Amino acid sequence: MQHVVVKEQDVYERTDTFIINNNLSLGKGLLSTLGETHRRQRKMLNPVFSIAHMREMIPIFYDVAHRLGDSIQAKVQDGPTTIDVLKLDDQDCPGAGWAKRPRLLFRFSD
């Protein structure tokens, strides 16, 4: 993946449809840009994904995931049911607010 996304990104150019769909669904960010803009955004994000930073964040991820799992388990305790995870909020299910926002909430300027 490093080879395709970082080292040889110009060789593995994304299609226009891929970029347009990502731009519409995710906004103008890392997955919907190419070339110099993509490189600049990736360089700004590198510290966020460093090993040291990720080690600090893992306990938070686990905590939210376990709270969400416990809440969903409580909802299905009486038997099978349908849960619309897009409609869950933090009152319903602690951590649900973050669980339905899997992208970075950061807007890059051009």
d(CA 42, CA 46): 6
d(CA 51, CA 63): 19
Q: Is residue 18 assigned to a domain?
A: yes
**How distant, in Å, are the alpha carbons of 17, 45, 54, 85, 108 from that of 61?**
32, 18, 10, 17, 24
**Contact by Cβ (8 Å): 92, 100:** no
pLDDT, position 108: 44
pLDDT, position 24: 85
Q: Tens digits of per-residue pLDDT, 9-43?
A: 666 677 888 888 888 887 878 778 888 888 888 88
Tell me: do 83 and 63 sit in the same domain: yes
Q: Provide the residue range defining the domain that includes 81.
A: 50-94
Q: Tens digits of per-residue pLDDT, 54-74?
A: 898 899 888 878 887 888 888
pLDDT, position 30: 79
Q: Is residue 100 assigned to a domain?
A: no
**Contact by Cβ (8 Å): 27, 107:** yes
pTM above 0.75, yes or no: no
For residue 99, pLDDT over 50 is answered with yes
